[in-house]
Amino acid sequence: QRGLMWFRHDLRIHDNPALANLASSCDQLTCVFVIDPNWYRADHFQSKHLGAPREAFLWQSLTELHRALDAMGQKLIIRTGKPLEVVANLCMDHAFDLIGVTDHPGTRERHQVDMLVERFPQRVVVSDAHTLFTQHQLPFDLPDIPATFTQFRKAVEKRELMPRLPLPVPESLPAPITAIKSDPAPLSDRRIAPYQGGEIAGRAQLNHYLWDTHRIQRYKETRNGLDGWDFSSRLSAWLANGSLSVRWVAAELDRYERNVEKNESTYWLYFELLWREYFQWMLYHYGARFFAFKGIANKRPLTTFYAEAFMAWREGTTPFPIVNAAMRQLKQTGWLSNRSRQLVASCLIHELGVDWRYGAAYFEQQLIDFDVAANYGNWQYLAGVGADPRGSRRFNLDKQAAQYDPDGTFVKTWVGEHESSELK
Ligand code: FAD
């Protein structure tokens, strides 16, 4: 049998059921990743959809995936074009018997799978390893997904749901189909230190946070820090492109709790993984409606857009030094702590009165760890729309600055001492 593995947001060979399934049922295999030219399309602010940090991280992740496949006698074919078209053409030209793909809640991703199934019935095998739980494990039918995170968490915890155990790397892979070649890849290999894409670096970061430094033991106290590598796990970028499996993280966390220590902090990391889980299933359920929740917290119409206010926010020149520092950090590094994300989102929505969706779209370009469900879900939450709608998620920015940046180090680092005193 001939198999085609279509890698999308599962750039790994560990805990990859789609790959494992093809490995055990095919004699020949092609592994493909498709670069969509839409990622390079400029928006009306002349920014391309795929920001530089995520592009570099993606490129490193693909390079690492290629290396891992190569070590098993396989290779990663990189093609450029409309993903569905590219994959459908490959299937027609090479008559694959099986097409393996990992499910993903994104509307585009689900449409791709639906269309593939329609065109090649009986041949597409869709595996689930993007979430902790499978849809069948959930203690409710998807249309009845709880309206708040707390209800979701309680439902999951009451049943003591256990994520399925991650799969090991397949022992061997079928031989490649040599006639199929890569296109020249347009991705940039710019450095994005301290991040390094790919599953080896992702698993190393998990080991670092748990086993090497035991920073996990203080996660609950440190996680609201604004800067610094070890305040939180820093796993989001690897989780977002799937070079790290969330089930692998949960299994390691469980092993840590059984062998070293179980405390409020170790639980809290799991608690955050449940937030991730909640938004994934919300997106899965709502589909395209997820992006259009109406009813904004403040009185302005939903479509309000103030270009000047938005540009000041984007460039870090608002009247709020802590927001400016965070927005400059985002632009330079592609990463922001959770606290900073909350503060800048609250500023855009509640202080500047700009529609949350412009902020979410800018984050989509800039974040190294952009995840469609987590990003849009969190923006909605802060705007008081979507799940758990409430109008009161407005942060007092001065109070927050006094609490989280009492000596102004964060602002000085990213805005500079001179400019920050001028802005005050
Ligand atoms: P940790 O605190 O160590 O948490 C561990 C993991 O749990 C994270 O890697 C992430 O996978 C998950 N997680 C933690 N908090 C959340 C949360 N609030 N919602 C969903 N999952 C969570 N996270 C993304 O991965 N991608 C995004 O595009 C994204 N956009 C966001 C936009 C806004 C406006 C806000 C407020 C939050 C956003 N988050 C997003 C959630 C969160 O800020 C990041 O996951 C976290 O800061 C990443 O750092 P970490 O890996 O050290 O997280």
Q: Element (H or E) spanning 30, and its range?
A: strand 28-35
Q: Quick one: pLDDT band at residue 233, thresholds 50, 70, 90?
A: very high
Ligand 1 atom 11: residue of nearest CA: 236
Atom of ligand 1 nearest to the CA of 369: 26
Q: Which atom of ligand 1 is nearest to the CA of 372?
A: 28
Tens digits of per-residue pLDDT, 212-223? 999 999 999 999
Q: Tell me which residue has its CA closest to atom 23 in ligand 1.
A: 374
State percent of the chain over pLDDT 70. 93
Do 324 and 410 meet the contact criterion of CB atoms below 8 Å apart?
no
DSSP result, 116-185: HHHHSTTTEEEE--SSSS-TTTSSS-GGG--SSHHHHHHHHHHTT--PPPPPPPPS--PEE-TT--PPPP
For the chain, the average pLDDT equals: 92
Residue 296's pLDDT band (boundaries 50, 70, 90)?
very low
Residue closest by Cα to atom 44 of ligand 1: 338
ipTM here? 0.99
% of the chain beyond a pLDDT of 90: 79
User: How far is the C-alpha of 166 from the C-alpha of 274, rounded, in Å?
Assistant: 17
298 CA to middle of ligand 1, Å?
A: 25
Tell me what pLDDT residue 419 has: 67
Return the best residue to mutate from 241, 280, 369, 400 for the ligand 1 pocket (most ligand atoms within 8 A of CB): 369
CA–centroid distance, 369 to ligand 1, in Å, is 8
Could you report the per-residue pLDDT of 238-272, keeping only the tens digit for each? 999 999 999 999 999 999 999 999 999 999 999 99
Residues in the chain, total? 424
pLDDT band at residue 228 using 50, 70 and 90 as cut-offs: confident
**What is the per-residue pLDDT for 63?**
94
Spatial neighbors of 228 by CB under 8 A, at least 6 apart, are none
Distance 118 CA to ligand 1 centre (A): 35
Q: Ligand 1: list residues with CB < 6 Å.
A: 223, 232-236, 239-240, 269, 272-273, 275-276, 279, 337-338, 341-342, 345, 363, 367, 369-371, 374-375, 378-379, 382
pTM of whole model > 0.90? yes
